[in-house]
Chains A and B, each alone.
Chain A
């Protein structure tokens, strides 16, 4: 028996792995100490938990535990990385390069810095969602201090070529930050092999708790420094003050350890299920996959079902928890800027659904999701004037629409 509704929104957040919860529990009561309390056993027990987690986390991305700065999540990590580099390297320059498909935590941080005198270049992406490496290379000037390009995209799962990107930034002596929130724990991420200088990630996208994340800050070749954005007691080597969220950090560590153990197994299982789901759904007429399918996270697919609107569609798929790039689902009434960056027409962006599978997704759930989605698309198309016009051979682009 499957339980409804089915959770297929694992790019928004993941459920906690029970093994993570178990590791965290003692740190809420018997080991409640402040990890900064150096002179009694309560503090030591907490510190021990944090130290161990730091090792588990460092191992997963192949860095030293001294290079991990704990934060409240990837939003804060992105802020600390970008604002911190902007302040620290002000003498060197004020130019930052990023891409139009980044998460708002990067884009809005850059927009904030623009008001403070930064010059920002927003690279356009190609139709498959990948950046153009030549464009990146050409955009770098002697004022460039940072390139910030996300690893795996949260809406379409497209993976940017980090090694090639870092080859460029290295050769030009520019720092590279990556928002790897969706990527760490899903595919191998190795800051040495990938040549990354700063990396943001968060526990709640990898079966850990919400409200805890980290920023990796390289200590050698080159030694990177960021100006603290949170001042206070000088925690985290002065880069991020504030009493550590010990249970959260312990859970984050455990989540990383499990990810390392289970990654290969999870990837094989999830990509097989994702591919099966995708293959069945694009059997529907006028259904299109968004983004590059060769360089993509294993657990996500983003599909546009032309001539139906995403929010209306999701209502018919009420037993599935998914998300849509439709404007009707957003407070701004604008369709997804990520999909628009791929050059998708607004009507296809409105028609998109993101399916995000996770460690606890089952084959039966995928069977159900296929059935349910197909039925919903058919139901909505039977109600869609655009579908009827399309079937009658009317060119919708040639119609003069009454609105706007």
Chain B
């Protein structure tokens, strides 16, 4: 199957690969997927006092579409408030990257990673975790 140009661009020049200090209270970490399933995504956000995401980093074990989805997610997250970030839907990623149907679950993983990073941040800072929809896997 041929990849879209946008997937290839993110894959070749992934934005924001890296690691934030997960011990810091203003860093939220989401680790989703499982090695046996062939995909693991770790997404991290750094949030300022106004609940705005100032930095985002990822590392992904998975196919090209999973890598591109997480790269795109980090790009979208920067500058958003955490409430805005919660609105990112996996179908937005599918559309932007022109993912074929068999790769939709790679975008679902990215959405799960965002929500899981936000929850980690919320819990660390004394807020209740938001209800996560059951994974679509």
Contact = CB atoms under 8 A, between A and B. Distances in A.
Interface residues of B, number: 31
B55 interface: no
Contact of A312 (B31, B33, B63, B105): B63
A346 B36 contact: yes
B130 to A, nearest CB: 15
Nearest to A348: B35
Nearest to B137: A403
A386 B60 CA distance: 8
B30 to A, nearest CB: 8
B64 A403 contact: no
B39 A328 contact: yes
A385 B38 contact: no
Nearest to A345: B36
A353 B56 CA distance: 32
A403 B32 contact: yes
Interface string A339-380: 000000111001000000000000000000000000000000
B14 A403 contact: no
A315 interface: yes
Contact of B38 (A335, A382, A384, A387): A335
Contact of A383 (B14, B32, B135): B14
Contacts of A402: 31-34, 112, 116
Interface string A294-320: 000000000000011111100110000
A309 B32 contact: no
Contact of A404 (B34, B62, B112, B116): B34
- Chain A interface extent, by class: 20 to 34
A307 B35 CA distance: 8
A141 B36 CA distance: 38
Nearest to A404: B34
Nearest to B3: A315
A164 interface: no
Contact of A385 (B14, B59, B102, B105): B59
Contacts of A388: 19, 59
Contacts of B42: 385
Contacts of A382: 17
A28 B47 CA distance: 71
A403 B62 contact: no
A312 B62 contact: yes
A154 to B, nearest CB: 21
A404 B37 contact: yes
A130 to B, nearest CB: 25
A352 B66 CA distance: 18
Contacts of A335: 38
B61 A403 contact: no
Contacts of A315: 3, 11, 63-64
Interface in B37-61: 37-42, 59-61
A75 interface: no
B67 interface: yes
B19 A312 contact: no
Given A386-B61, A402-B112, 17 more contacts: A307-B61, A311-B64, A312-B66, A315-B63, A315-B64, A316-B11, A328-B62, A333-B105, A385-B31, A385-B42, A385-B59, A385-B60, A401-B34, A402-B116, A403-B137, A404-B34, A404-B37
Interface of B: 3, 11, 14, 17, 19, 31-42, 59-64, 66-67, 102, 105, 112, 116, 135, 137
25 contacts: A309-B66, A311-B63, A311-B64, A312-B11, A312-B60, A315-B63, A315-B64, A326-B38, A326-B63, A327-B37, A327-B38, A328-B38, A329-B63, A345-B36, A383-B14, A384-B60, A385-B41, A385-B42, A386-B40, A402-B32, A402-B34, A402-B112, A403-B32, A403-B34, A404-B36
